[in-house]
Amino acid sequence: MSQTKEAFEQSEPAAENAVVAHGISKNYGDVQALQNLSLEFPRGQLTSLLGPSGCGKTTLLKIIAGLLEPTSGEVEVNGHAITGPGPDRAFVFQDFALLPWANVLRNVSFGLELRGVAKSERESIAEKYIHDVGLTGFEHSYPHELSGGMRQRVGLARALSVDAQVLLMDEPFSAVDEQTRRKFQEDLLSLVQHENKTFIFVTHSIEEAVYVSDQIAILLPRPSRVSEIIRPTNFRAKGAENIRRDSEYLDIVDEIWASLRTYVE
């Protein structure tokens, strides 16, 4: 098979401004969720965390976000060890996490408002990203007036508007229908191509991981650590509409499933 597949120890050095997790362990009482996990996330690429339920994908994402403190180890962003949440990272939540009393424009600009950006400037920035995610015309709509897919677009626009260098995405498309999910996946490929950011993406879907990712980190059941890194290559230049029909794409999906099926109860 023509894709690059290698253990973490054999991977290339982290790209400049990448996120690097060094020896991360996390215990919840007597339960060890993560065990000495090390992983590099290159800038300008999307890395998916993929593994069986309960393997610590979201735990790792929250540690990188600074929302959880590791039991041991550290995370570096742009070469600096993190000690908590910071403006260099933005989180796209599975359940949208919108302000129900605020319209789309206010929701998207809220992070900038918290940073003290002037109203005219933050609204101008918000309008750009509202346009980029396909919500032009809905600036003054409220969350209850939007579909689930539209609310998720608002959450994505809000994360993009603060210009964080790292976007952390926790199963952001799981709550929408299949048609909307596929459109989101295509839009995400475009964002990765045009936004020079580090995307870290948690998903339970093998097909989704292979479709959107520059690299896929396969995590073992807890105590979780990296089993292998898979880097899809050749089919990615063929265009979003052709990826799912490519034989290499299908082979990688089957290979990952063969690797993970022994962990599915």
Joined together, the tokens standing for residue 58 give 């979201």
Q: Taking 90 as the threshold, does the pLDDT of residue 191 lie above it?
A: no
Average pLDDT over residues 116-136: 91
Q: Which pLDDT band holds residue 94 (cuts at 50, 70, 90)?
A: confident
Joined together, the tokens standing for residue 171 give 């199963």
Average pLDDT over residues 55-60: 90
Average pLDDT over residues 179-200: 85
Average pLDDT over residues 197-209: 92
Q: Provide the phi-psi class of 8: left if phi over 0, else alpha when psi is between -120 and 50, else beta.
A: alpha
Q: Which pLDDT band holds residue 122 (cuts at 50, 70, 90)?
A: very high
Tokens 């020896």 belong to residue: 23
Predicted local confidence at residue 194, as pLDDT: 82
Q: Provide the phi-psi class of 23: left if phi over 0, else alpha when psi is between -120 and 50, else beta.
A: left
Q: Mind listing the domains of the chain with CATH numbers?
A: 4-83+196-263 (3.40.50.300)
Residue 213 CA to residue 225 CA, distance in Å, equals: 19
Average pLDDT over residues 173-193: 82
Predicted local confidence at residue 18, as pLDDT: 81
Joined together, the tokens standing for residue 204 give 């339970």
Pick the more confident residue, 61 or 96: 61
Q: Taking 50 as the threshold, does the pLDDT of residue 17 lie above it?
A: no
Residue 96 CA to residue 147 CA, distance in Å, equals: 11
| Secondary structure (H, E, C), the chain | CCCEEECHHHCCCCCCCCEEEEEEEEEECCEEEEEEEEEEECCCCEEEEECCCCCCHHHHHHHHHCCCCCCEEEEEECCEECCCCCCCEEEECCCCCCCCCCCHHHHHHHHHHHCCCCHHHHHHHHHHHHHHCCCCCCCCCCHHHCCHHHHHHHHHHHHHHCCCCEEEEECCCCCCCHHHHHHHHHHHHHHHHHCCCEEEEECCCHHHHHHHCCEEEEECCCCECEEEEEECCHHHHHCHHHHCCCHHHHHHHHHHHHHHHHHCC
